[in-house]
Structures are given as structure tokens and as C-alpha cells.
Amino acid sequence: MTSNSPQVSHFTSTLRPLKRGKACLTCRFFKIRCDGARPICGPCQQSPKEDPCEYADGPGRSRARVLEETVSRLEARLREYEHPEETPSMELYDPYQQGQAHDSGTTMRENVDRPLSSYSSYSSPSSTFFGTSPLRSSYTGGSSGSSDTATTAEPRIALPGTRSLLEWFFANAVSFGFFLDHSRFSSSALLPLDFGHQSRPCPGLLSTVYLWGIHLSPQTQHKDLEHTLLMRALRDTASDLSSSNPHPHRFMHTIQAETLLGYYFFRNGNVLEAKRHASGAASLVLGCGLNTLRSLHMQQRGSNPISPVSSESHNLLPPQDAVEEGERINAFWAVFTLYRDIAVTVDPLRSVCGVFDAPGCQIDTPWPLDMDMYKMNILPPRSSMTIHEFLNHVQQDGDDYQPSGATSTTTKASLLLHQASFVAGQYNPNMPPPEAQTLFAAFQSVRRLIASLRSQLSPLEEMDHQNQNLSSFREIHLAHSLIHGSIIRLNHIFSDSDAECRHYCVKSAQALIHGGGFDVVEFGCVNPIMGTLWTLACQTLVQEIVRMRSMRTGETQGLWITCKLYQKLKTQENYPYTVKIPSWFPFNRASRPSHSFLLTVL
């Protein structure tokens, strides 16, 4: 009797009606009478279904409950997207503020760069580190109400001190198109404020400068952070212009960040990405009207088809002083130079034109001056059709400033390299006589421009390298190199048939390789266009050596040229941080000719 009691109890439980909601979820769905037995009821045990036997009031969350919660969460997020103005603000706290470890052996104290919430301007008080600048990449800069704030913050990035990063960057900034005032930028970057604060540079620009600082750092232990900083710089730069809390200098800072990223990819051989960022910077400078600064002919709003929106609609506030206006002038020419240099490097000679050559894109901005002149409240006179008049040998009022400005000379030299490439690209041995006459007239015009600009520069051999400012000398060295590259590119089209043109090419290639006897390793690193110019010089010298070999002249000058060339290439191999030789460089380490081969050619 006792042994049968469980069966009787089970039988009676099946007959006893269950209260509403006590049946299992499977029986409720199929409308089957459930006995309420646990963990598995009788109907589910007799006829197993695809879904397990679960109860709504079970100890764990049922599958249906999980799905219901997921649907509710998605509906709430959808409401946030549809009505961002109704979304309540969310305040973030610093989980690393308490219990921070400090390095007692370092005296310099740097602030912790902290991101801002995308919902509000609230941020927790700054904590401090000794000698390091940890970064967290949770700044979104997105629109209000974005669900990004629910995303888990990325891990902190332990970097060297901000001051050290800036020092490493500014030691070579002149080679990478940095047009902002160094002292003002450094002062704002070192403020003990949060990362993203409007008194500091935009997050995209600051992240890009940190990236360059790590890239140029002599400390190899931080090189593994470069890729992380690159991803951060790309993300922050892309979101700065769409921030719900706009930075007052977001346009200028984004132009600067895009320019630096363009040079970064250009230096590392990723020319496709370099061209993309250069195009982005070019679109911004044209959209902000930087191509018509200090124009003699102030166009009506929207008259320029390339930049149909005026600068006022872009919230580009009027410059506060001569330095800010000079930054804008130099910004345009820095982007212009980068865009031209990349075009000369990667585009076919017949296709080197771009957005700055589009019909209706009038460039009235005067030539740039060195930043020291802006600090003395010196601004160039108003001008119009700056490039057109320069290429047509029209003397401008502002030309009196230019001989003393290395920035202006370098910009003009870059323009002439592009113009020489364009003229060379139009050459065709089978051209009809009218086109040949037009080409020869353009050839002579560019040659006179190159000679005129070259006469304004002192020879590198006569300059005092020791007492010269390294940044200024770096620009002068680059200007000389660009001029030599222009001579080679222009005269090469007639070098096979004209001895004078061939002589110009060889002499310029020798001068480019020799560099005035200055060891470029002392620069630390050089402008990426130098890789293109050295390639041009190498090709010219090798062609001349082959020509001399075929003529059996017996001259030995080619041997010394080749030895000098090989020494230059070995220097680059020993000091790879000077200029990174990309895979497309003809004499990279994988395909570099041996010394014995060079001697055999002779």
C-alpha cells in the first residue's frame, strides 16, 4: 500500500485542475492539458517536443523570457534612435580613478587624457600619472542618443608622456605638412583637461599627433602601440565633424589631421590611403573657402562651383589675429602640396591633374609665409589667380616677401614639379606640328620658371649647416631637391635626342643624390616625396651609365656616381627611419643591385 502511494499521488495530481499560468510553456502553446509535474510534465515526457519543458516561474530565465527581454531591449534602442531628444543623459565615471599606481622615480607629471561622454559634457575629475599619458578610446563624437555609450570602453593605452610625444613629433613636423602654430598647439595640448575638451585640440588631431609621436619615437618598446593609435586616429578624425558638441576649431583641426594621416600613409608606402586622405583634406579646404583667402575679388556667396557653400555656413569663424589667418593660408598650401606630390608619385604623367585643376576652381589665396612672419603681424597682400599668374610669369605684389620664406619656395617648387610632370606627359614623338609647337612653348615656359626659382635659393654647398636652423634647412634642402626633380622630369622627354637636355638631367640627378654634401641622416626623417625624387635620380643615372657603357667611352665618372649612389642606398638601409623605402621603390632591399653588378654595368 505504501509502495503505491506515489502513483496515487501522481494520478490525483493529474486530475487536479491547475491554476491559471501554472502549466508549462510548451503545453500552453499547444493548448494541451498539463499535469504541472516538474521538472518535466507528463505530456512532455510522453510526447517530447522540439522545445524543452519550461515553466514561467522556474528558477532560471526561460527561453521565451530571454526572447521577450531581447525584443524589449531592441524596441527601447529603436525609440532612442527615433527620438534622441527624449533620451535621458548618461553620466560616465572613471573606473581607473581609484587605486592608481604611481611611478615615484619620475618627476614630470602628465594629465590623463579622458574621453567625453557623447550624451553630455560631464566628465569626472582628472586623475594624474607620473611620466605616462594613458589614453582610453571611448570618445565617440557621435550624435546625441547614440547607442555607442552602451558599448564597453576599449582598454587604456599606456603611452609616454604627452610632452615627449609632442617633442618627437615637432622635431620633424615641418616635413609632414603641419601648418598650425607650434607653440599654441603645444600649449593647448598640454592643458590639464579631459581628452576632447574644447580648450584642447580635437580628438582626431590629438590622436593623429600621438600616432606620429609614437611612429617617430626612438623608443622601440612603444612601437607595438602604433597600429592601435592608427585605428583610434582614423575613428576620431572621421567623427570630429559630426560631434553633437562641436569643437570651435573642428574644421581646421580636421584638415590638419587629414593632412597628417595622408603623409603618414604616404611615408609608409600605402599610397591609396594617402590619396584618399589627401582628397578628404582637399575637399575640406575648398568647402571652407580657403582657396579664396585674402582675394582681391571677393566672390558672391555660392559663386564658386567647387565650393558652393560659404565659409560662414561652415562655422569657420573669422580669424582672431594674423597667426590664425596665416594658419589658414598655410593650411591651403599644405594640402595643395600634399595632393600634388601624391599625384606626381602615383598617377600617370598624363593624369596628374585633380580637383585643384577643375574648371571654376579659382585659387586666389596668396603664397604662404613662414609662421615667424605671421607672429610679427606680417600678412601677404591680397591677390587673385595666384597659380595662374605664377605660371604665366606675372609679377605679383606679394613676391617681395617670398625670397625670405622657405615655405613659399618649397610650395612653388612642388608646383613646378607637378607642372613639369604634366608637360612631360603631353609629349608624343608623333605629335602634329601645331601641337609640338604648343608643347615646346610650355616646355620653355616651365624651364624659365624653374631657373627663376632656383636663382632665389642659395646653393646648399654655401650654407652653414651647423648654425642653420634644422627645420629651415630641411625645407631649403627639400626645395632644392624638388627643383632638381623638376629639371629631370621636364628635360627627360628630350634627353635621347638633345645632348643639352641629357646634360641637365644627369647634373640634376648628381646634385639630388649629393644633396650639397649634407648627410640626410641628420634630418632624422625626410618628406616622403624624397623617395620619388631619389627614384627619379637613380633611374636617370642608371640610364646614363648604360648609355656610356654602350658607347664604350672609357670615362670613369660614372663609377664615382654609382659608388655615391650605392653609398646613399646603404645609408638608407642602415638608418631606415630616415625614409622608409616602400616595395614599389626600384632599389628596395629585395631588388637592390649588388655592388659587383654596378661595376659590371660600367
* Model pLDDT, residue 581: 45
Residue 256 reports pLDDT greater than 80: yes
Question: Is-contact 303 364, C-beta < 8 A?
Answer: no
Residue 127's pLDDT band (cuts 50, 70, 90): very low
Q: Are residues 196 and 64 in the same domain?
A: no
**Three-state SS sequence of 252-316:** HHHHHHHHHHHHHHHHCCCHHHHHHHHHHHHHHHHHCCHHHCCECCCCCCCCCCCCCCCCHHHCC
Contacts of 380 (CB under 8 A, 6+ apart): 294, 329, 366, 367, 369, 398, 401
pLDDT band for position 157 (cuts 50, 70, 90): low
Domain closes at, from 256, 280, 305: 256
* Mean pLDDT computed over 17-34: 84
Flag whether 359 is in a domain. no
Confidence (pLDDT) at 188:
93
Q: Where are the alpha helices (DSSP H) in 56-191?
A: 63-82, 162-170, 182-189
- Does residue 121 or residue 506 have the better pLDDT? 506
CB 383 within 8 A of CB 306: no
Tell me, yes or no, whether 186 and 125 share the same domain. yes
Is 144 a residue whose pLDDT tops 90? no
Residue from 463, 369, 359, 354 nearest 411 by CA: 369
Residue type, 14: T
User: Which carries the bigger pLDDT value, residue 203 or residue 85?
Assistant: 203
197 lies in the same domain as 114: yes
In a domain, residue 324? The reply is no
Q: Is the per-residue pLDDT at 580 higher than 50?
A: no
494 in any annotated domain: yes
Report the pLDDT value the prediction gives residue 39, as an integer from 0 to 100: 84
Q: What is the pLDDT of residues 373-420, one digit of tens each?
A: 999 999 999 999 999 999 998 876 655 544 458 899 999 999 999 999
Residue 95 has pLDDT above 90, yes or no: no
Q: What does each C-alpha distance from 502 to 31, 420, 555, 572 come to in angstroms?
A: 96, 16, 16, 27
Q: What is the pLDDT of residues 314-352, one digit of tens each?
A: 557 889 999 999 999 999 999 999 999 999 998 887 776
Average pLDDT over residues 260-265: 97
Domain of residue 591, residue span = 457-602
CB 6 within 8 A of CB 37: no
| For residues 352-378, average pLDDT | 88
- Residue 429 above 60 pLDDT? yes
For residue range 467-507, what is the model confidence (pLDDT) as tens digits? 677 778 888 999 999 999 999 999 999 988 889 999 999 99
Q: How far is CA 342 from the centre of its chain?
A: 13
Q: Are residues 208 and 248 both part of a single domain?
A: yes
Q: Please state which of the ranges 265-274, 287-296, 464-473 shows the lowest mean pLDDT.
A: 464-473
476 falls within a domain = yes
Among 24-38, 148-162, 193-207, the minimum mean pLDDT is found in 148-162
Average the pLDDT over each of 11-25, 32-46, 115-129, 285-299 and give the range with the smallest value: 115-129
Domains of the chain: total:
3
> Rounded to whole angstroms, how far apart are CA atoms 187 and 166?
11
Q: Are residues 36 and 138 in the same domain?
A: no
Q: Do both 165 and 202 map to the same domain?
A: yes
Grid cell digits, residue 355 = 580637383
236 and 121 within one domain: yes
Asked if residue 227 belongs to a domain, the reply is yes
> 593 with 466, same domain?
yes
3-class DSSP assignment, residue 274? helix
- Averaged confidence pLDDT in the chain: 76
Predicted model pTM = 0.69
* Residues 115, 252 within the same domain: yes
Q: Whole-angstrom Cα distance, residue 407 to residue 371?
A: 9
9: cell is 499521488
Q: Same domain, yes or no, for 476 and 602?
A: yes
- Residues in contact with 113: Cβ distance below 8 Å, sequence separation at least 6, in sequence order: 133, 134, 135, 136, 162, 194, 195, 206
